[in-house]
Amino acid sequence: MIRPRISLILAALALAVAAPAAADAPVVPLTKDVRAALEPLGPGVVGEALPAAPINEPSRLRHLEPGTWRYQVVAGAHQSQEQTVRVERVTSGDQGATWEVVTDKEEIQQLKVTTDHEVVKLSQSNERSDRIVVYRPGLVLETGMSVGESKTVKSRVATHKLQRPEEVEFEGQLEYTTRYIGAYRVTTPAGEFDARLLEHRYAMTIGPAKANYHSYGFYADDVGNVAEVSEESVSALLVYRHSSNSARVLLSAPPR
Protein backbone atom coordinates (compact mmCIF):
# COMPACT_ATOMS: atom_id res chain seq x y z
CA MET A 1 0.00 0.00 0.00
CA ILE A 2 1.31 3.55 -0.59
CA ARG A 3 2.21 5.47 2.56
CA PRO A 4 3.99 8.58 1.28
CA ARG A 5 4.68 11.52 3.57
CA ILE A 6 1.94 13.61 2.00
CA SER A 7 2.97 16.53 4.24
CA LEU A 8 5.91 17.10 1.87
CA ILE A 9 3.79 17.77 -1.20
CA LEU A 10 1.33 19.80 0.88
CA ALA A 11 4.23 21.90 2.13
CA ALA A 12 5.31 22.40 -1.48
CA LEU A 13 1.82 23.62 -2.43
CA ALA A 14 1.79 25.97 0.52
CA LEU A 15 5.06 27.48 -0.67
CA ALA A 16 4.01 28.14 -4.24
CA VAL A 17 -4.38 -14.56 2.63
CA ALA A 18 -3.20 -17.61 4.68
CA ALA A 19 0.60 -17.70 4.54
CA PRO A 20 1.70 -17.09 0.94
CA ALA A 21 2.63 -20.70 0.26
CA ALA A 22 1.08 -23.27 -2.07
CA ALA A 23 2.54 -26.50 -3.41
CA ASP A 24 2.36 -25.42 -7.07
CA ALA A 25 3.07 -21.71 -6.58
CA PRO A 26 6.24 -20.27 -8.17
CA VAL A 27 9.31 -19.43 -6.11
CA VAL A 28 10.89 -16.18 -7.32
CA PRO A 29 14.44 -15.35 -6.13
CA LEU A 30 15.15 -11.66 -5.64
CA THR A 31 16.84 -9.95 -8.54
CA LYS A 32 20.12 -8.12 -8.01
CA ASP A 33 18.41 -4.72 -8.31
CA VAL A 34 15.64 -5.50 -5.82
CA ARG A 35 18.07 -7.03 -3.34
CA ALA A 36 20.20 -3.87 -3.53
CA ALA A 37 17.11 -1.70 -2.95
CA LEU A 38 16.30 -3.71 0.20
CA GLU A 39 19.77 -3.30 1.73
CA PRO A 40 18.66 -0.40 4.03
CA LEU A 41 16.68 -2.97 6.04
CA GLY A 42 19.98 -4.42 7.21
CA PRO A 43 21.41 -7.95 7.25
CA GLY A 44 19.27 -10.91 8.23
CA VAL A 45 15.88 -9.29 7.60
CA VAL A 46 15.10 -10.72 4.15
CA GLY A 47 15.56 -14.48 3.92
CA GLU A 48 14.74 -17.30 1.54
CA ALA A 49 12.27 -17.10 -1.31
CA LEU A 50 8.99 -18.98 -0.73
CA PRO A 51 6.18 -20.25 -2.97
CA ALA A 52 4.08 -17.20 -3.93
CA ALA A 53 0.39 -17.93 -4.40
CA PRO A 54 -2.01 -15.37 -5.93
CA ILE A 55 -3.25 -12.58 -3.65
CA ASN A 56 -6.89 -13.59 -3.35
CA GLU A 57 -7.68 -11.55 -0.22
CA PRO A 58 -5.62 -8.33 -0.21
CA SER A 59 -7.48 -7.16 2.90
CA ARG A 60 -5.61 -9.85 4.85
CA LEU A 61 -2.29 -8.35 3.76
CA ARG A 62 -3.30 -4.84 4.82
CA HIS A 63 -4.98 -6.29 7.93
CA LEU A 64 -7.17 -3.40 9.01
CA GLU A 65 -8.23 -4.20 12.55
CA PRO A 66 -8.37 -1.90 15.59
CA GLY A 67 -4.98 -1.71 17.26
CA THR A 68 -1.49 -0.23 17.28
CA TRP A 69 1.57 -1.30 15.27
CA ARG A 70 5.06 -0.18 16.32
CA TYR A 71 8.04 0.07 13.94
CA GLN A 72 11.77 0.69 14.27
CA VAL A 73 13.11 3.13 11.68
CA VAL A 74 16.42 1.63 10.50
CA ALA A 75 17.41 4.09 7.74
CA GLY A 76 16.75 7.69 6.78
CA ALA A 77 16.44 10.98 8.63
CA HIS A 78 14.59 9.39 11.57
CA GLN A 79 16.88 6.39 11.94
CA SER A 80 16.75 4.73 15.40
CA GLN A 81 13.39 6.32 16.20
CA GLU A 82 10.15 4.43 16.73
CA GLN A 83 7.10 4.93 14.55
CA THR A 84 3.55 4.24 15.71
CA VAL A 85 0.65 3.33 13.43
CA ARG A 86 -2.85 3.22 14.93
CA VAL A 87 -5.86 1.74 13.10
CA GLU A 88 -9.45 2.68 13.94
CA ARG A 89 -12.76 1.72 12.34
CA VAL A 90 -14.75 4.75 11.09
CA THR A 91 -17.85 3.22 9.51
CA SER A 92 -19.22 -0.17 8.44
CA GLY A 93 -22.06 -1.13 6.12
CA ASP A 94 -23.27 -3.39 3.34
CA GLN A 95 -20.54 -2.20 0.94
CA GLY A 96 -17.68 -2.69 3.40
CA ALA A 97 -15.90 -0.89 6.23
CA THR A 98 -13.96 2.38 6.30
CA TRP A 99 -10.83 2.74 8.43
CA GLU A 100 -8.45 5.45 9.57
CA VAL A 101 -4.72 4.68 9.68
CA VAL A 102 -2.91 7.26 11.82
CA THR A 103 0.90 7.41 11.64
CA ASP A 104 2.72 9.19 14.48
CA LYS A 105 -0.49 11.06 15.45
CA GLU A 106 -0.30 13.41 12.45
CA GLU A 107 -0.63 11.59 9.11
CA ILE A 108 -4.09 10.11 8.52
CA GLN A 109 -5.09 7.78 5.70
CA GLN A 110 -8.70 6.80 5.08
CA LEU A 111 -9.06 3.31 3.60
CA LYS A 112 -12.05 1.22 2.64
CA VAL A 113 -12.22 -2.58 2.63
CA THR A 114 -14.94 -3.83 0.29
CA THR A 115 -16.98 -7.00 0.67
CA ASP A 116 -14.75 -8.46 -2.10
CA HIS A 117 -11.68 -7.96 0.16
CA GLU A 118 -10.27 -5.15 -1.98
CA VAL A 119 -8.50 -2.29 -0.20
CA VAL A 120 -9.23 1.22 -1.53
CA LYS A 121 -7.34 4.34 -0.45
CA LEU A 122 -9.78 7.27 -0.37
CA SER A 123 -7.81 10.18 1.10
CA GLN A 124 -4.79 11.27 3.10
CA SER A 125 -4.26 14.25 5.38
CA ASN A 126 -1.60 15.77 7.59
CA GLU A 127 -2.41 17.90 10.64
CA ARG A 128 0.71 20.06 10.37
CA SER A 129 -0.10 21.12 6.80
CA ASP A 130 -3.83 21.61 7.49
CA ARG A 131 -4.67 19.90 4.19
CA ILE A 132 -6.27 16.72 2.87
CA VAL A 133 -5.68 14.97 -0.46
CA VAL A 134 -8.65 13.15 -1.98
CA TYR A 135 -8.33 10.41 -4.65
CA ARG A 136 -11.08 9.80 -7.24
CA PRO A 137 -11.28 6.98 -7.96
CA GLY A 138 -9.56 5.60 -4.90
CA LEU A 139 -6.30 3.68 -5.21
CA VAL A 140 -7.12 -0.03 -5.19
CA LEU A 141 -5.25 -3.17 -4.20
CA GLU A 142 -7.33 -5.66 -6.18
CA THR A 143 -7.97 -9.36 -5.70
CA GLY A 144 -6.42 -12.06 -7.86
CA MET A 145 -2.97 -10.56 -8.47
CA SER A 146 -0.42 -13.23 -9.43
CA VAL A 147 3.30 -13.13 -8.80
CA GLY A 148 5.09 -11.05 -11.45
CA GLU A 149 1.91 -9.16 -12.30
CA SER A 150 1.59 -5.38 -12.07
CA LYS A 151 -1.48 -3.13 -12.15
CA THR A 152 -1.73 0.59 -12.80
CA VAL A 153 -4.46 2.94 -11.60
CA LYS A 154 -4.92 6.51 -12.86
CA SER A 155 -6.72 8.83 -10.50
CA ARG A 156 -7.67 12.48 -10.19
CA VAL A 157 -6.52 14.12 -6.99
CA ALA A 158 -7.56 17.30 -5.21
CA THR A 159 -6.37 19.12 -2.09
CA HIS A 160 -8.67 20.79 0.42
CA LYS A 161 -7.85 22.80 3.54
CA LEU A 162 -9.09 20.96 6.62
CA GLN A 163 -10.94 24.06 7.78
CA ARG A 164 -12.64 24.45 4.36
CA PRO A 165 -13.26 20.88 3.17
CA GLU A 166 -15.93 21.96 0.67
CA GLU A 167 -13.45 24.11 -1.31
CA VAL A 168 -10.97 22.61 -3.80
CA GLU A 169 -7.53 24.20 -3.45
CA PHE A 170 -5.59 22.39 -6.20
CA GLU A 171 -6.40 19.61 -8.66
CA GLY A 172 -4.14 17.17 -10.43
CA GLN A 173 -3.47 13.62 -11.58
CA LEU A 174 -1.77 10.57 -10.16
CA GLU A 175 -0.58 7.33 -11.76
CA TYR A 176 -0.06 4.50 -9.27
CA THR A 177 1.45 1.08 -10.06
CA THR A 178 1.66 -1.99 -7.85
CA ARG A 179 3.80 -5.02 -8.72
CA TYR A 180 3.72 -8.38 -6.92
CA ILE A 181 7.36 -9.49 -6.78
CA GLY A 182 7.18 -12.70 -4.73
CA ALA A 183 7.08 -14.20 -1.25
CA TYR A 184 9.98 -14.32 1.22
CA ARG A 185 10.86 -15.17 4.79
CA VAL A 186 11.24 -11.93 6.76
CA THR A 187 12.73 -11.62 10.26
CA THR A 188 12.07 -8.54 12.41
CA PRO A 189 12.13 -7.81 16.16
CA ALA A 190 8.44 -8.81 16.16
CA GLY A 191 9.22 -12.30 14.87
CA GLU A 192 9.58 -14.32 11.67
CA PHE A 193 6.99 -13.98 8.89
CA ASP A 194 6.13 -15.48 5.52
CA ALA A 195 5.49 -12.25 3.64
CA ARG A 196 4.60 -11.06 0.14
CA LEU A 197 6.75 -8.36 -1.43
CA LEU A 198 4.90 -5.58 -3.28
CA GLU A 199 6.54 -2.74 -5.18
CA HIS A 200 4.61 0.56 -5.23
CA ARG A 201 5.27 3.50 -7.55
CA TYR A 202 3.39 6.73 -8.02
CA ALA A 203 3.87 9.92 -10.02
CA MET A 204 1.64 12.84 -9.06
CA THR A 205 1.19 16.35 -10.41
CA ILE A 206 -1.07 18.70 -8.47
CA GLY A 207 -1.12 22.47 -8.73
CA PRO A 208 2.51 23.68 -9.00
CA ALA A 209 3.86 20.53 -7.31
CA LYS A 210 5.18 17.22 -8.57
CA ALA A 211 5.90 14.13 -6.48
CA ASN A 212 7.37 10.70 -7.13
CA TYR A 213 7.23 7.85 -4.65
CA HIS A 214 8.76 4.36 -4.77
CA SER A 215 8.64 1.67 -2.11
CA TYR A 216 9.09 -2.04 -1.46
CA GLY A 217 6.77 -3.37 1.24
CA PHE A 218 6.58 -6.81 2.84
CA TYR A 219 3.08 -7.84 3.97
CA ALA A 220 2.13 -10.87 6.06
CA ASP A 221 -1.42 -12.21 6.09
CA ASP A 222 -3.37 -11.20 9.20
CA VAL A 223 -0.43 -9.08 10.44
CA GLY A 224 0.01 -6.29 7.88
CA ASN A 225 3.17 -4.48 6.85
CA VAL A 226 6.23 -6.06 8.51
CA ALA A 227 9.08 -4.27 6.69
CA GLU A 228 9.39 -1.48 4.15
CA VAL A 229 11.90 0.61 2.19
CA SER A 230 10.73 3.86 0.57
CA GLU A 231 12.01 6.94 -1.24
CA GLU A 232 10.20 10.12 -2.24
CA SER A 233 10.95 13.36 -4.07
CA VAL A 234 8.79 16.50 -4.18
CA SER A 235 9.24 19.77 -6.04
CA ALA A 236 7.18 22.91 -6.69
CA LEU A 237 8.50 25.06 -9.53
CA LEU A 238 11.80 26.58 -8.34
CA VAL A 239 10.76 27.39 -4.77
CA TYR A 240 10.64 23.97 -3.11
CA ARG A 241 12.56 20.73 -3.49
CA HIS A 242 12.75 17.81 -1.11
CA SER A 243 13.83 14.18 -1.28
CA SER A 244 13.88 11.52 1.40
CA ASN A 245 14.38 7.83 1.97
CA SER A 246 13.43 5.58 4.84
CA ALA A 247 13.32 1.95 5.98
CA ARG A 248 11.45 0.34 8.86
CA VAL A 249 10.87 -3.05 10.47
CA LEU A 250 8.04 -4.22 12.71
CA LEU A 251 8.60 -4.09 16.47
CA SER A 252 5.16 -5.24 17.61
CA ALA A 253 1.62 -5.81 16.32
CA PRO A 254 -1.74 -6.44 17.99
CA PRO A 255 -2.24 -10.08 19.05
CA ARG A 256 -3.79 -12.27 16.37
pLDDT digits (tens, 9 = 90+) for 96-135: 899 999 999 889 999 999 988 999 999 999 877 788 999 9
pLDDT, one tens digit per residue, over 157-203 is 999 988 888 899 999 999 999 999 999 999 999 999 999 999 999 99
Structure-model confidence comparison of residues 243 and 84, the more confident one: 84
Kindly state whether residue 32 falls inside one of the protein's structural domains.
yes
What mean pLDDT is predicted for residues 243-249? 94
Task: Name the residue among 86, 128, 119, 83 with its Cα closest to residue 200.
Answer: 119
Q: Which CATH number does the domain housing residue 243 bear?
A: 2.40.360
Domain span holding position 149: 6-252
Overall number of domains in the chain: 1
Lowest mean pLDDT among 24-38, 113-127, 131-145, 227-241: 227-241
The reported pLDDT for the residue numbered 18 is 39
Angle at 98 between CA 95 and CA 102, to 5 degrees: 165
> Do the domain assignments include residue 1?
no
| Domain-located, residue 65 | yes
Inside any domain, residue 39: yes
Rounded CA-CA distance 24/83 in Å is 38
Max mean pLDDT among 52-56, 91-95, 166-170 falls in 52-56
Examine residue 76 and state whether it is found in any structural domain, yes or no. yes
